[in-house]
Amino acid sequence: MAGEYRFSFGPWNIHEGADPFGPTVRSSVAFAKKVRMYKQMGFDGVQFHDDDAVPDMEKLAPAQIARKAAAVKRTLDGEGLVAEFVAPRLWEHPKGIDGAFTANDPKCRKWARTRSERTADIANALGTKLIVLWLAREGTYIRESKNAIEAHKHLLDAINHFLEYDPEITIAIEPKPNEPMDHAYLPTIGHALAIASQTIDPKRVGGLIETAHALLAGLDPSDEMAFALSLGKLWSVHLNDQNGLKFDQDKTFGAANLRGAFNQVRVLELGGYPATGRFVGLDVKAMRSQKSDVATRHLSNSRTIFLDLVEKVRTFPKDVHDQCVANRDYEALELAVIEHLLGK
């Protein structure tokens, strides 16, 4: 069964534990060492920010960037890994301080386009056609600071620029409603796919759904995934968990709401996700209190919980399900689901 689903995560998921209230608590793990951990933990795909692959990219010429990315590709090949996607990290650079694609300053918007071109180059060198757009600072702290109508047009232009620059790349938009911004543009998969439909090549634009982001929008992650699956637009997921409406927690998958996790797995099963060849990505953070030698358990545990839930979905008695649905006895169905999850 493990063979049917392919798993991925990004190097940022093995991290030093800093939070807004305190410094790092674990020392950095070098990229070369992280890469060696993937296969051991049952992961085949690496998710990248552009500068995860080429950290000093802002100081390098395009040809140098491509060469450095090609070296990373060789490292991946050596480990039997593949790059799943590359995401432009627009939110750490000074020019991205007020959003990049939707910045009021045209110089910042221009920088974001050039950076996008380099992101596409890196994706090519790493051997993936998938770009992920998490639109971190594309939004506002206060509504009056931007013309939101213009901002959405800028976003459409930015996506079109990507599509024009590289006719082979595909783009998965990762919606999130807030954090770091008070409100972000494209807060849900509905928004993301609406704008996708208006691009110059809608078939090359889809979505990545993160559990926590859907929950922060007050939505059910499994229904968000179902919406995208029904349109053939679920191109990756960032599974994790979230304990209510607060900061983006990136908890271990299933750790806060096991039933919610069961339903996300169920919808991936119903949608035939493994056959699409797409990855099950985990965007999870270790607790700050976790000691270094066990600070990857959030990843391996999330994978284990996912696979346990695949088993739970597949072994849920179909006759019980069908009978409850036929009788419209959803109380009975609810009890059956809970008892199944409890192993009764």
Residues at the interface with Mg ion (CB under 5 A): 210, 238, 283
Partner in contact with 87, chosen from ligand 3MF, Mg ion, none, beta carbon below 5 to 8 Å by kind:
ligand 3MF
Place of tokens 């000691």: 291
How far, in Å, are 3, 8, 13 from residue 76 at the CA level?
A: 19, 13, 17
Q: Is 223 a catalytic residue?
A: no
Q: Give the β-pairing of 183-184 and 170-174.
A: unpaired
Binding at 84: pick from ligand 3MF, Mg ion, none (beta carbon under 5-8 Å per type): none
CB closer to ligand 3MF, 130 vs 337 = 130
Nearer to Mg ion, 121 or 250 (CB): 250
Q: Is 47 helix (H, G, I), strand (E, B) or coil?
A: strand
Q: 19, 50, 51, 52: which one is catalytic?
A: 52
Catalytic position from the list 15, 19, 44, 49: 49
How is residue 136 annotated by DSSP? T
The entry of Mg ion, ligand 3MF, none that residue 176 binds, CB within 5 to 8 Å by partner kind:
ligand 3MF
Q: Closer to ligand 3MF at the Cβ: 166 or 210?
A: 210
Of residues 34 and 285, the one with the C-beta less far from Mg ion: 285
Burial (Cβ within 10 Å: 0-12, 13-18, ≥19) of residue 184: buried
Residue nearest to ligand 3MF (CB): 134
Q: Is 206 helix (H, G, I), strand (E, B) or coil?
A: strand
Shortest spacing between CB 53 and ligand 3MF, in angstroms: 13
CB of 338 to ligand 3MF, least distance (A): 30
* 51 contact choice in ligand 3MF, Mg ion, none (CB below 5 to 8 Å, kind-dependent): none
Whichever of 210 and 241 has its CB closer to Mg ion, that residue is 210
Note if 56 is an active site residue.
no
Secondary structure E strands in the chain? 6-9, 45-49, 82-87, 130-134, 139-140, 170-174, 183-184, 205-210, 234-239, 279-282
Task: Find out whether 139 and 182 touch, Cβ atoms under 8 Å.
Answer: yes
Q: For 173-203, give the DSSP string.
A: EE--SSSSSSEESS-SHHHHHHHHHTSS-GG
Closest separation in Å from C-beta 134 to ligand 3MF:
3
Q: How far is the CB of 183 from Mg ion (least distance, A)?
A: 18
Q: Which does 165 bind (CB under 5 to 8 A by kind): Mg ion, ligand 3MF, none?
A: none
Nearer CB in complex with ligand 3MF: 111/134:
134
Nearest Cα neighbor of 8 from 42, 33, 32, 51 is 42
Q: How far is the CB of 206 from ligand 3MF (least distance, A)?
A: 14
Q: How far is the CB of 238 from Mg ion (least distance, A)?
A: 4
Rounded CA gap, 233 and 6, in Å?
A: 18
Give the amino acid at 307.
L
What does residue 19 show for φ and ψ, rounded to 5 degrees?
-135, 175
Q: Residue numbers of the site for ligand 3MF (CB under 6 A)?
A: 12, 87, 132, 134, 174, 176, 210, 238, 248, 283
Q: Residue 208 forms beta bridges with which residues?
A: 236
* Tokens 């056959």 sit on residue: 275
Q: Determine phi and psi for 45, rounding to 5 degrees.
A: -120, 145
Pick from ligand 3MF, Mg ion, none: which does 52 bind, CB < 5 to 8 A by kind? none
Contact status, residue 305 vs residue 50, Cβ threshold 8 Å: no
What amino acid positions are annotated as catalytic residues?
A: 49, 52
